[in-house]
Structure 1
Amino acid sequence: MNAVPTVLHDVADRVRTQLEPRFPEAAAMFEQCFLNTLETTVRRLPDGTTFVLTGDIPAMWLRDSAAQIEPYVRHAAADDDLRAMIRGVIRRHARYVALDPYANAFNEGPDGMGHQDDRTRLTPWVWERKWELDSLCHPLRLLHLYWTVTGDTEVFDEAVHRMLTVAVATMRAEQRPGSSPYSFVRPHPQQPTDTLVNEGRGPECGYTGMVRSAFRPSDDACTYGFLVPANMFAVVVLGHVAAFARDFYADTALAGDAAALRAEIEEGIRRYAVVDHPEHGPVYAYETDGLGNHLLMDDANVPSLLSIPYLGYRPATDPTYRGTRAFVLSPGNPHYSSGKHARGVGSPHTEPGHIWPMSLAMQGLTSTDPAERAELLDMLAATTADTGYMHESLDPDDPGVFTRPWFGWANSLYAQFAMEVALT
């Protein structure tokens, strides 16, 4: 178990004190969810980097690890050791992206663990090589948040410069159909979404200006090639890349390319990703292919359409987001469910009818309604099956039926939401 910095114990005490009068159950479980990632999944390594397990899977997902430690970043200015731990995560992200920008999850060392039978360009460092656009976006978001909070310029070394360069180059390669070097086949998939169609090349796409993603943040294959919330996320982080390239590396070529790519993706979203819904008006599709097809749904995993304000793409008051949110939180979304104890968004990654606590926390983080936020915080606290921890998914009629008892990202996202309720 890692030593917990005093500043985080102080935060836990302050949040618990603020929550107890109105949300006693949420207050009682806050500290263990808040500290779960640091106490159980973080490994400080001799080389100065930090390896972060996702929880019950012994690998480091680029996406999960960035999101798992995000609740700590806002407090990093007050503690040297906390800053060093987060810098270590960023440096390990930079190393992994340089090793393989198409991989979503990595081993601590080149030990060959994970899905080594997949037909793709594997190395012993890679646990799984599912190309997910958000896997590049999450580390860039973490880097920006860390810099904003701490002002620490030490993090901007040549390894991070390389990560920025490789991230933009990979997005460029995935922007134009037919130019991608990536393919992926799982020889014996447990479900069809574990592999790609068209002999591993994925679904056919037209040019839109957006970036193709083979898999969703759920690690399920995309139905259509352009995952809209991931492209929204890319718009946000490419703005950060352009600023970092200009301000810290004097790399005008990278800054210009990132800014241009950002504008092209934004225009692609505007032209190809908005659908006129008969009940909710203009809404964002979850996926599209640039050939006239759209998938209207949302998934609990982030980036999602529900998470648009959290990502920083549009404010919660934006009219198209409001219409999209109304659709996502309705039976029109095929992955929205309601039961005796909970209602919210799930994922085709788990059992039909299950709800993901992660989506409930995200609904709360993006809500502008105090009553809705209060209801969601109570709902999350009441559906842990008396464990005091978040799970991957749960049966809304029987929360004792759940998946993944140890899921660091869900605990961290709950902690973020509880902190927002308590401290804002």
Structure 2
Amino acid sequence: MRNNIITTALAVATAVYADCPDYLSYALVPHGPFSGGTYNLSYMRPDPACRTFNSTIVESAVTNISNLITDPDLKRLFVNSYPNTLDTAIKWKGTANGSDEELTFVITGDINAMWLRDSANQMQSYLPLLTASDAYNSLASLYRGVINLQARYLLIDPYCNSFQPPIESGVSPSPNPSASDDTVRPNYTNTSIFECKYELDSLAAFLEVSSNYYNATQDATFFKKYQWVDAVETILQVATNMTVPTYTADGNVSVLSYSFTRLTNRASETTENGGLGNPFNNGTGLIRSFFRPSDDATIFQGFIPANMMFSRYLASASLIAAAIGENDLAQRMSCMASGLRDAITASGIVTTRSGGQIYAYEVDGYMGHNIMDDANIPSLLAAPFFGYLDVNDTVYQNTRQLILSAQNPYFMRGPDISAIGGAHDGPGYAWPMAAIVRILTSNDDAEITQQLQEIVSTTDGLGLIHESINTYNISDWTRQWFSWANGLFGQMVLDLEDRKPELLKQSFQGNSSTA
């Protein structure tokens, strides 16, 4: 009966959505009513009948929090941004064939595919509102669907980062022309995989969304029902495989379980040495990552932020394994997490010319290290946000001071916005996501106020958080529809309402100053 109800509901929804505008186009055009503030921000929420998932809890939060915001443009940006994933990106929700296993297919926004990392973070936006519930229309059900579908994807190929719609959805796969040049993977098919870049943080994302759900609901039973344990075992195997050094003890070149090449004119879209990447010496104990969370290739595969995130969520997810009686698995997870933390401390901390200690962005296990940071999470800036360390940690604060300065080659500065960017969009493009993370990891009222001012004033009137913005021309930006960044902005506003509510009473109607 439940499956029949779901099928009927989906059929009705499909008929309604057929009359709805494509949000990719809708989000490019301003819509009234406008905010009436200096920046006169557009209203960007779809009609309620066109929203992809409706949650009364989220709607109440949008109303309640917006009523606490004084500035009309900040209020409008919050109202547009926080529900954006639910409004636009729950492409399909249903159950697996012949089962009651919930599945949730979440797109990033303007790309019709599900990234492990993005979908986990899109769900995290609503973590403050998550409670235990069996209801099909609950946030808890959305979470369970994402966890189940991610587990399925990991069992298809755990080295891949982005996937096509599940067959049950009836949603057609989307072509990815670039992916046709990938080194062939055993399970690669455009009907199931969208992109196959191995990123350690994608594995960490599955552990993150699992831990977030468990900690909020204490629903251990769920994790025994389907493929969660198999997915975690697969993750541990990949992590072990990716500790193999480039050279064996006698100097032979190791055979790796993964390689990647692509025909491209961008170095960040492929890897060195015929797909193996730059040499990696694993006396470090770190786990390799071929790509960053920006989907750009690492220079040195000892990618510190992803190792931090993996260690943090491997430890927390081990509590789930213990709660369902998988004691051996829990022990192996806990030991690997602890070993990684030691490895990060031993190999990821470097001494600058001035004598201070900072975290490197990447290391190779020889003598090479890359001093920078990128806007995408996990980043060095975000380490306290995802719980790896305390915001007052001395090495973190040293690192923060450097990466929020011109000493970071990807800290973009301009008259309208100054924030960390990255190789993905290139020099001159600051990412609002990094400005949001800066707020989430700051206790300085002046710093937070400045960053809010810059964010509010640089949406080009559209009232949505873009991927990146030209620091000298706010009308030159990338991605009008990027659900993760929008949800993160809303999550940040909820955080401010909790710890610094007085800042939401300020006016942001003036011009920002350069950081």
- Per the alignment, residue 182 of structure 2 pairs with 118
- Write the deviation string for residues 234-287 of structure 1: whole angstroms up to 9, x where unpaired: 110110232222221x22322222122112211211111111113471000000
Q: Which amino acid aligns with 1:167?
A: I
Equivalent residue in structure 1 for 2:237, among 166, 169, 182: 169
Q: Which amino acid aligns with 2:335?
A: A
The total of aligned residue pairs comes to: 420
Equivalent residue in structure 2 for 1:71, among 125, 130, 152: 125
CA contact (8 A) 2:110 2:482 kept: yes
Equivalent residue in structure 2 for 1:405, among 468, 472, 480: 480
User: Which consecutive unaligned segments of at least 5 residues does structure 1 have?
Assistant: none
CA contact (8 A) 1:19 1:422 kept: no
Equivalent residue in structure 1 for 2:436, among 356, 361, 373: 361
- Write the deviation string for residues 313-369 of structure 1: whole angstroms up to 9, x where unpaired: 111100000000000100000000211111110111103111001100011111121
- Write the deviation string for residues 19-60 of structure 1: whole angstroms up to 9, x where unpaired: 22xx43211221211111111110213432000001111110
CA contact (8 A) 1:120 1:185 kept: no
Equivalent residue in structure 2 for 1:140, among 199, 207, 211: 207
- Write the deviation string for residues 82-107 of structure 1: whole angstroms up to 9, x where unpaired: 21111111111111111111000000
Instruction: Please state how far the C-alpha of 1:112 moved relative to its aligned partner.
Output: 7.5
Equivalent residue in structure 1 for 2:219, among 152, 161, 166: 152
CA contact (8 A) 2:182 2:261 kept: yes
Is residue 2:93 matched to residue 1:44? Answer: yes
- Per the alignment, residue 53 of structure 1 pairs with 107
Summarize the alignment of residues 334-345 of structure 1 with structure 2, pairs less than 5 Å apart: 334-345=409-420
- Per the alignment, residue 6 of structure 1 pairs with 56
CA contact (8 A) 1:316 1:368 kept: no
Task: Quote the Cα distance in structure 2 between the aligned partners of 1:281 and 1:267.
Answer: 20
Instruction: Please state how far the C-alpha of 1:373 moved relative to its aligned partner.
Output: 1.5
The alignment partner of 1:85 has SS state of helix
- Per the alignment, residue 390 of structure 2 pairs with 315
Instruction: Please state how far the C-alpha of 1:78 moved relative to its aligned partner.
Output: 7.0
Is residue 2:319 matched to residue 1:243? Answer: yes
The alignment partner of 1:245 has SS state of helix
**What TM-score results when the alignment is normalised by the length of structure 2?**
0.79
Task: Quote the Cα distance in structure 2 between the aligned partners of 1:45 and 1:335.
Answer: 41
What is the root-mean-square deviation in Å for CA atoms of aligned residues?
Answer: 1.6
Equivalent residue in structure 2 for 1:18, among 64, 68, 82: 68
Task: Quote the Cα distance in structure 1 between the aligned partners of 2:382 and 2:410.
Answer: 15
Q: Which amino acid aligns with 1:160?
A: W
- Is the deviation greater in 371-380 or in 99-108? 371-380
- Per the alignment, residue 34 of structure 1 pairs with 82
Task: Quote the Cα distance in structure 2 between the aligned partners of 1:148 and 1:241.
Answer: 10
Q: Which amino acid aligns with 1:210?
A: L
Instruction: Please state how far the C-alpha of 1:71 moved relative to its aligned partner.
Output: 1.5
Instruction: Please state how far the C-alpha of 1:2 moved relative to its aligned partner.
Output: 2.4
Is residue 2:161 matched to residue 1:104? Answer: yes
Identity across matched positions, percent: 34
**Shift in CA distance, 239/113, structure 1 to aligned 2, threshold 3 Å:** same
Higher CA-based Rg:
2
The alignment partner of 2:105 has SS state of strand
- Per the alignment, residue 33 of structure 2 pairs with none
- Per the alignment, residue 215 of structure 1 pairs with 291
CA contact (8 A) 2:268 2:423 kept: no
Task: Quote the Cα distance in structure 2 between the aligned partners of 1:321 and 1:392.
Answer: 25
Q: Which amino acid aligns with 2:107?
A: L
Summarize the alignment of residues 297-336 of structure 1 with structure 2, pairs less than 5 Å apart: 297-336=372-411
Task: Quote the Cα distance in structure 1 between the aligned partners of 2:290 and 2:149.
Answer: 24
Equivalent residue in structure 1 for 2:304, among 211, 219, 228: 228
- Per the alignment, residue 365 of structure 2 pairs with 290
- Is the deviation greater in 7-16 or in 211-220? 7-16
Is residue 2:467 matched to residue 1:418? Answer: no
Equivalent residue in structure 2 for 1:82, among 139, 148, 154: 139
- Per the alignment, residue 389 of structure 1 pairs with 464
- Per the alignment, residue 16 of structure 2 pairs with none
Q: Which amino acid aligns with 1:11?
A: A
Q: Which amino acid aligns with 1:84?
A: S
**What TM-score results when the alignment is normalised by the length of structure 1?**
0.95
The alignment partner of 1:32 has SS state of helix
Instruction: Please state how far the C-alpha of 1:231 moved relative to its aligned partner.
Output: 0.4
Q: Which amino acid aligns with 2:175?
A: M
